[in-house]
Structure 1
Amino acid sequence: MLFSSVIFLFYFFPIVLILYYLLSFSRLAQNMLLFFASLFFYAWGELRYILLLLASILANTLFGYLVEIFRKKEEEDKNSDYKKWKQITLVFMCLFNLSFLFYYKYFTFVLKNISQFWDTDLVIPQIILPLGISFFTFQAISYVVDVARGDAPAQKNPFYVGLYIAFFPQLIAGPIVRYNSIAEQIKSRRSTWDKLSVGCCRFVIGLAKKTLIANQMAIVADHIYRLNNATEVSVALAWIGSIAYTLQIYFDFSAYSDMAIGLGLMFGFKFEENFNYPYISKSVTEFWRRWHISLTTWFKDYVYFPLGGSRVENKDIMIRNMLVVWVLTGVWHGAEWTFWMWGLLNFAVIFLERLFEVDKKSHNIFLRRVFTLFLVNLGWVLFRSENLLLAGNYISNMFGLNQNQLYSAEAGVFLREYWIYFIVAILFSTPIARNMNQHLFYHPSKVITKLVSMCYPFVLLIIFFVCVSFLVKGSYNPFIYFNF
């Protein structure tokens, strides 16, 4: 079940929201409702894997309970073996969670590569990837590690652990919520009219980004990438396709984060922001401070810092730490060599930026932004391509290295049909709209401020009905997160 679907918008979500506020007399009842609603939400599209999700919840509840016992015993008796038992439990927890992730996401990839490398005829099973497995696996790991560190208490109630891991707003597409940031909210959050209204607005904005921008960019990108796989494309058409995907992935991913944050607010939860206009970055390092912030923070706190981070005296170890993080970041996104290369590309660029201290330089800001976008765009070509051969062919077409023509009739067709979507997407990928919005809401003239405040809900209502009309007529609505 997708947020941008009629079933979710007019059946599932309204029923859950109404029942939630009818149960406002009991926080326990509200949490139980959200937990079982989240299981239903997941089972709607992944009924065969609901037991996998439940196993993750129950096992990690137990792991959290055990590591808290060992941590408290360790604090009481510094010379005891409880620290060792805590570490052993953490190892088993990681093996448990990552084994499922490996089997469902990477097992066939490993078998295919073994078969090709050794020229053997292995039987490759058809394994369907459970939706959101990378997201809920990382959340489960962060829960147990936070408890082991003493950053959050262990939750004895498995239903509450289940609500944290399986909460439907962020279950299949993030953001990755840290347990220590939400533990208190599970028990004692406040559901207010302000949160409900702000959440509704945020959800509609996300729905518009997904339906009116990301889906239109997907039509262009998917068509051109398919065309590139089958025949030669012109330089202009290759660039149009790469820019379309660059815009698609931002608006698709940030739209789901907006909708998740909005849904969370409507139920009283406050999630951290996940995107902060990454395409205005002056370096790739800055880009990753602004893009998928929850994933970047997760790797930093649970991989990079435990390895020693950048505070180690040996520069080689620091480089190793960066390499590990970026290889894992690439692998997390999908089981294909293109993701490995994409992760290595980010590592190489960020390493060079750190070596030459690019972030500390304040000149040529415009050129730095253009060059950063150029590198990010090339990276997305790797990310989008089905394999390295097709990625290399696409990049070659972008620079005319295949002796392909500069311009083609297809390029003209896409520009004529979708130019308005490109302009809107480019504008809204910058803070221009946000700054104009803030300027109007906090205008010195009280008349203008009041007029904007009165019109804003109606404008959002119109946008919502436009989005619904696109969905009802069956417009293109791809789900970009099947790899995750």
Structure 2
Amino acid sequence: MVFSSTVFLFAFLPCLLVTYFLSGERYRNYVLLLFSLAFYGWGEPKFVFVMVAEVTVDYVAALLIGRCGGRNWRSKLLVALALALNLGLLVYFKYTGFLLQTLNAAFHTEIIIPNIVMPIGISFFTFQAMSYVIDVYRGQVFAQKNPANVLLYVSLFPQLVAGPIVRYSTIAQEINNRKTTVSDAAQGLERFILGMAKKLIVANNMGALADAVFKLTVLTTPVAWLGAIGYTLQIYFDFSAYSDMAIGLGRMFGFHFEENFRFPYISQSITEFWRRWHISLSTWFRDYLYIPLGGNRGSWLHNVFTLFVVWLTTGLWHGAAWNFVLWGLYYFVLLALEKFFLRGFLEKLPRLFRHAYTLLGVIFGWVLFRSDSLRGCARFLKAMLIPHVDLHGMDEFWVYVGRFWPFLILGVVFSMPVYDMVRRNIGAFLCVKVGDSIAAGMKYAVLLGLFYVCVLFLVNSTYNPFIYFRF
């Protein structure tokens, strides 16, 4: 089930809201838990048991670690066992096929590759479960005694299948004691509708453009660049839209998730880009891998090795394929160059040049990320970098521009913090001119109209995937 579907919008969410707010406060966590499990089990019910089994092990491990008191050998053994199980499940479901294919290719063997279906969102909920056990071991949170609350933390439906990766410490107090205010509900509804608009109006249309171009067997330079820009906009609006909707839904039920995107395409360096893109994943790797490996401590050679491990892991986290491995190593090279050689040079450049350098680096990275094979990636990059233009290609280019230009413009404009500035300025102006209550009414009338437009796009489109569901 996806947020931008008629089943979710007109059946699941209304039923949940009615049941949740009619229930007494002591039962609301159980209502959320049951609906979250139903949400996850909608497509493939058997994988609910995989998630519940993983959470059960982590719940018991955290409870035992809490009773051990301190970082003694018993606690370390329990952490190691819990992490081994979590990572073992992740490797089995996500990487078995990739590992066996690699072995077959490297050693010319004929090992039969099993057809293993990967549970949706396993990368996300596994990282959440692992962070809970590690934080209990570190003494940053207390072990939760109620197993239903631990399961709720991991399975909470807004962030379950595509993030953001929520730390237990972020919502521990709200799991046990929270109040849903009118202000929270209103802000959550606004955030949800805006996220849905980003997804249905911009991301889906940019996805249709990118898919059309990446399927072409003959590429000219203008068409290749158009497709790369289309995918660059698609993946941002697709993933940030899901995060917006998740944050908005969480707010409706009294949970305050942290931001996952802060306009990454306005960055002035690759380093800044990764401080703004998929923040919950970047900080997860920083706190649970980069710093434990030594971080910035030690020699520059050790720093390089640590960066290499983190970005190799980041690439593998995104997918079991060589293009994802190379994508991670691509960013390792760029970030290492910035960290050790380019920082001073970049700071002296005009903002426009820094921005152009960053966007070009990100766009080339997304081509590697999107390509189905390394050969296809090389072909696409060749079309972008070696000028090739013919009459048919230009006709094709203008056909795509004519079809998608409104969504390209919307994507470029709203990848910048335009909406926030417009909302603040117009909101302040209207509050002065017509009063707070009328201004608020006008805002929600606009949001209602935007919701109606989203529904029109939804019912008239058959293209509605979420990219990060497969990670």
In the TM superposition, what whole-angstrom CA distance separates every residue of 1:354-406 from its partner, at most 9, and x where no partner exists? Answer: 113527725411110011000000000000011211111110111237x5648
Match of 1:98 in 2: 87
Match of 1:140 in 2: 129
Match of 1:480 in 2: 467
Task: Spell out the pairing of 1:163-202 with structure 2 (5 A cutoff).
Answer: 163-202=152-191
Aligned with residue 32 of structure 1, among 23, 26, 30: 30
What do you get for the CA RMSD once the two structures are aligned? 1.5
Structure 1 runs (4+) deviating above 2 angstroms are 356-360, 403-408, 442-445, 448-454
Match of 1:298 in 2: 284
Asked if structure 2 preserves the Cα contact closer than 8 Å seen for 1:217 and 1:244, the reply is: yes
In the TM superposition, what whole-angstrom CA distance separates every residue of 1:167-206 from its partner, at most 9, and x where no partner exists? Answer: 0000001000001111111001111111001100000000
Residues in 2 aligned to 1:350 and 1:121: alpha-carbon distance in whole angstroms = 39
Alignment of 1:131 with 2:120, yes or no, is: yes
Match of 2:211 in 1: 222
Task: Spell out the pairing of 1:43-54 with structure 2 (5 A cutoff).
Answer: 43-54=41-52
Match of 1:348 in 2: 333
Residues in 2 aligned to 1:475 and 1:430: alpha-carbon distance in whole angstroms = 28
SS at 2:179's partner residue?
Answer: coil
Residues in 1 aligned to 2:336 and 2:373: alpha-carbon distance in whole angstroms = 25
In the TM superposition, what is the alpha-carbon distance from 1:481 to its structure 2 partner?
2.0
Match of 2:304 in 1: 319
Asked if structure 2 preserves the Cα contact closer than 8 Å seen for 1:225 and 1:241, the reply is: yes
Match of 1:3 in 2: 3
Residues in 2 aligned to 1:185 and 1:376: alpha-carbon distance in whole angstroms = 37
In the TM superposition, what is the alpha-carbon distance from 1:307 to its structure 2 partner?
1.0
Residues in 2 aligned to 1:243 and 1:181: alpha-carbon distance in whole angstroms = 35
Match of 1:400 in 2: 386
In the TM superposition, what is the alpha-carbon distance from 1:122 to its structure 2 partner?
1.6
Residues in 1 aligned to 2:439 and 2:208: alpha-carbon distance in whole angstroms = 34
Asked if structure 1 preserves the Cα contact closer than 8 Å seen for 2:430 and 2:439, the reply is: no
What letter corresponds to residue 20 of structure 1 in structure 2? Y
Alignment of 1:257 with 2:243, yes or no, is: yes
Of residues 474-483 and 142-151 in structure 1, the stretch that sits farther from structure 2 once superposed is 474-483
Aligned with residue 221 of structure 2, among 235, 252, 277: 235
Residues in 1 aligned to 2:37 and 2:415: alpha-carbon distance in whole angstroms = 34
Residues in 1 aligned to 2:431 and 2:9: alpha-carbon distance in whole angstroms = 37
TM-score (norm. length: structure 1)? 0.94
Residues in 2 aligned to 1:83 and 1:473: alpha-carbon distance in whole angstroms = 59
What letter corresponds to residue 12 of structure 1 in structure 2? F
Match of 1:78 in 2: none
In the TM superposition, what whole-angstrom CA distance separates every residue of 1:207-226 from its partner, at most 9, and x where no partner exists? Answer: 00000000000000011111
Task: Spell out the pairing of 1:66-465 with structure 2 (5 A cutoff).
Answer: 66-70=64-68, 72=69, 74=70, 83-227=72-216, 231-310=217-296, 312-356=297-341, 358=343, 361=347, 363-400=349-386, 405=390, 407-443=393-429, 446-447=432-433, 450=436, 452-465=439-452
Equivalent pairs counted in the alignment come to 468
What letter corresponds to residue 483 of structure 1 in structure 2? R
Match of 1:77 in 2: none
What letter corresponds to residue 293 of structure 1 in structure 2? I
Asked if structure 2 preserves the Cα contact closer than 8 Å seen for 1:235 and 1:405, the reply is: no
What letter corresponds to residue 53 of structure 2 in structure 1? A
Change (3 A) 1:50 1:116: same
Residues in 1 aligned to 2:270 and 2:433: alpha-carbon distance in whole angstroms = 43
What letter corresponds to residue 4 of structure 1 in structure 2? S
Match of 1:79 in 2: none
SS at 1:299's partner residue?
Answer: helix
In the TM superposition, what is the alpha-carbon distance from 1:35 to its structure 2 partner?
0.6
SS at 1:125's partner residue?
Answer: coil
Asked if structure 2 preserves the Cα contact closer than 8 Å seen for 1:338 and 1:382, the reply is: yes
TM-score (norm. length: structure 2)? 0.97
What letter corresponds to residue 329 of structure 1 in structure 2? T
Residues in 2 aligned to 1:370 and 1:348: alpha-carbon distance in whole angstroms = 18
Residues in 2 aligned to 1:404 and 1:114: alpha-carbon distance in whole angstroms = 41
In the TM superposition, what whole-angstrom CA distance separates every residue of 1:119-157 from its partner, at most 9, and x where no partner exists? Answer: 122211111111000000000000001111111110111
Could you list the runs of 5+ residues in structure 1 that have no partner in the other structure?
75-81
Asked if structure 1 preserves the Cα contact closer than 8 Å seen for 2:239 and 2:466, the reply is: no
Change (3 A) 1:210 1:158: same
What letter corresponds to residue 38 of structure 1 in structure 2? S
SS at 2:467's partner residue?
Answer: coil
Asked if structure 1 preserves the Cα contact closer than 8 Å seen for 2:261 and 2:277, the reply is: yes
Residues in 2 aligned to 1:266 and 1:479: alpha-carbon distance in whole angstroms = 22
What letter corresponds to residue 61 of structure 2 in structure 1? F
In the TM superposition, what is the alpha-carbon distance from 1:442 to its structure 2 partner?
2.5
Residues in 2 aligned to 1:357 and 1:390: alpha-carbon distance in whole angstroms = 30
Residues in 2 aligned to 1:216 and 1:445: alpha-carbon distance in whole angstroms = 35
Change (3 A) 1:449 1:410: farther
SS at 2:429's partner residue?
Answer: coil
In the TM superposition, what whole-angstrom CA distance separates every residue of 1:266-313 from its partner, at most 9, and x where no partner exists? Answer: 000000000000000000000000000000010001111111111x13
Match of 2:455 in 1: 468
What letter corresponds to residue 463 of structure 2 in structure 1? Y
SS at 2:215's partner residue?
Answer: helix
Of residues 279-288 and 53-62 in structure 1, the stretch that sits farther from structure 2 once superposed is 53-62
Residues in 2 aligned to 1:408 and 1:154: alpha-carbon distance in whole angstroms = 62
What letter corresponds to residue 444 of structure 2 in structure 1? P
Of residues 370-379 and 43-52 in structure 1, the stretch that sits farther from structure 2 once superposed is 43-52
Residues in 1 aligned to 2:53 and 2:433: alpha-carbon distance in whole angstroms = 57
Asked if structure 2 preserves the Cα contact closer than 8 Å seen for 1:199 and 1:262, the reply is: yes
Asked if structure 2 preserves the Cα contact closer than 8 Å seen for 1:275 and 1:290, the reply is: yes
SS at 2:56's partner residue?
Answer: helix
Could you list the runs of 5+ residues in structure 2 that have no partner in the other structure?
none
Asked if structure 2 preserves the Cα contact closer than 8 Å seen for 1:440 and 1:448, the reply is: no
Asked if structure 1 preserves the Cα contact closer than 8 Å seen for 2:269 and 2:355, the reply is: yes
Of residues 244-253 and 444-453 in structure 1, the stretch that sits farther from structure 2 once superposed is 444-453
Give identity over the alignment, percent: 44
Residues in 2 aligned to 1:123 and 1:98: alpha-carbon distance in whole angstroms = 23
